[in-house]
Amino acid sequence: MDKIKVAIIGVGNCAKSLIEGIHFYSQNPQETVGLIHPTVGGYSISDIEIVEAFDVDERKVGKLLHEAVTMEPNRTMIISEISPSKIIVKRGPTLDSIIDENRKYFIHESNKPSVDVAATLKQSGAEVVLNYLPTGSDEAAFAYAQAALDAGCSFINCMPTKLGRDEKWIAKFSQKGLVLLGDDIKSQLGATIVNRSILELFKRRGFRVTQSDQTNFGGNADHHNLHYRPDAKEECKETSLGSVLSKEDVKPNARMIYTEKNYDHKRASLFVMGEMFGKVPASVQVILDDEDSPNSGGIVVDAIRAVKVLIDKNVVDRAAEISASIMKAPYKQMSEEDSYGVFSEITN
C-alpha cells in the first residue's frame, strides 16, 4: 500500500514516542501487543512515513530528525532505537506557543527565521499534518491549520484549541476533500478514558454520580505549560467526562498539577462517588500510572491511518465520527463502546 506521508508540528516527547513506535512496529511486523488496531483500512503502522517536522527550539531546529528527538527537554522512556533520518527539522513560527515560564526552564528559542510552512509542506509531499503544539497556543494552531489547508494537507489536532469543534474549520477542510480530526488527543489508556469508563459503568448500573474528581500529576514541558495555561485542557477533560452523565449528576472536576520529579511519568488520581439502591453511597478510587507520551502514540497511529482511509473512501464528511473515538473534545461526543464500533465500521 502507499505510504501515508506525515508532517509533525513540535518535535517534543510525543513526537519522539511516535517516531520510535513507528520504527519498533515496522521492524517487528508480527508484534501486535500495545495496538488497538494492528491494521486500519488495510494500513499497518509501517505504512506511516514522517516526511517533515517543525520546531522552535534551537537544540532541534536544523538538526536531523533522529538527532532532534534525543535533544533536551525530551526525556521520555525509549521505545526503540531509530534509523538515521534525512529530514532536517525546520524553524516554525513561534507566535503564542512559548510562555515566558517555559523559556526559563524548557525552551531555548531559535533565532533563525521561520520557514514558509505551506510551501515547505507542499515540497515535502505531506498528506497529513500532526499538531503537537502546547496547550494555549491558539494563534499558532490556527496558523498551522491554515498552512495545512493551503498545502492541501489534512490536519490532526492533538491539542485543545477549538478546530475540530468549529463548524467553519470543519467546512474549510471538507470542502477541499481534506480531513480535520480534533480536538485534544485521547490517550490509549489515560486518565480521561479510564474515568469515562467508570462513569459510564455507574450510569449503566443506575447510580447517580455525586462526586467526580480527576487530578493529573506530571513534570514534562507540557505539564509545566499547563501549570500556567490549564483552562483549555481542563475544559476538554471535563466536557469529555460530563458527556456520559445526565442532568441529575454532579459536574466532573479535572485538575492538572505540575510535579517536576515526575517528568513524563504521569500519575492520575480518580475518585468517583455515587448513590445506588435506596440512595446508599458507594465510591471508587483509582490511581493510574503511565508514561504520558507513549500513551498518546497508540492513538495517534490510528488517527493517521483513519485520515488516509477517509480520503481513500471519499467519506471525509465522517471525520467527526472518527474524532469521537480518538479525541477528548470532538464535534460530537459518543460513548466509548459506540465510538469504537463506529471507528471500526468506517475504517474497515
- Tens digits of residue pLDDT in 128-187: 999 999 999 999 999 999 999 999 999 999 999 999 999 999 999 999 999 999 999 999
The mean per-residue pLDDT over the stretch 230-235 comes to: 90
- CB neighbour list of residue 100: distance below 8 Å, 6 or more residues apart: none
For residue 121, name the pLDDT band (cuts at 50, 70, 90): very high
Cα–Cα dist 76/78, whole Å: 6
The CATH superfamily of 4-186+294-347 is NAD(P)-binding Rossmann-like Domain (3.40.50.720)
Residue with cell 490556527: 142
Neighbours of 211 (CB within 10 A): 14
Every domain of the chain and the residues it spans? 4-186+294-347, 191-291
pLDDT over threshold 90, residue 1: no
The mean per-residue pLDDT over the stretch 207-220 comes to: 95
Q: What's the CATH number for 191-291? A: 3.30.360.10
Which residue stretches of the chain are H helix? Answer: 13-27, 65-68, 100-105, 117-124, 138-151, 167-175, 191-204, 221-228, 231-242, 292-312, 319-326, 336-347
The mean per-residue pLDDT over the stretch 285-308 comes to: 97
Residue 215 is placed in which grid cell? 487530578
Average pLDDT, the chain: 95
So what's the pLDDT on residue 94? 97
The mean per-residue pLDDT over the stretch 30-44 comes to: 96
The strand order across the sheet containing 265-275 reads 253-258, 208-218, 265-275, 281-291
Cα–Cα dist 343/97, whole Å: 32
For residue 222, name the pLDDT band (cuts at 50, 70, 90): confident
The mean per-residue pLDDT over the stretch 115-123 comes to: 98
- CB neighbour list of residue 33: distance below 8 Å, 6 or more residues apart: none
For residue 217, name the pLDDT band (cuts at 50, 70, 90): very high
So what's the pLDDT on residue 260? 81
So what's the pLDDT on residue 196? 95
So what's the pLDDT on residue 182? 96
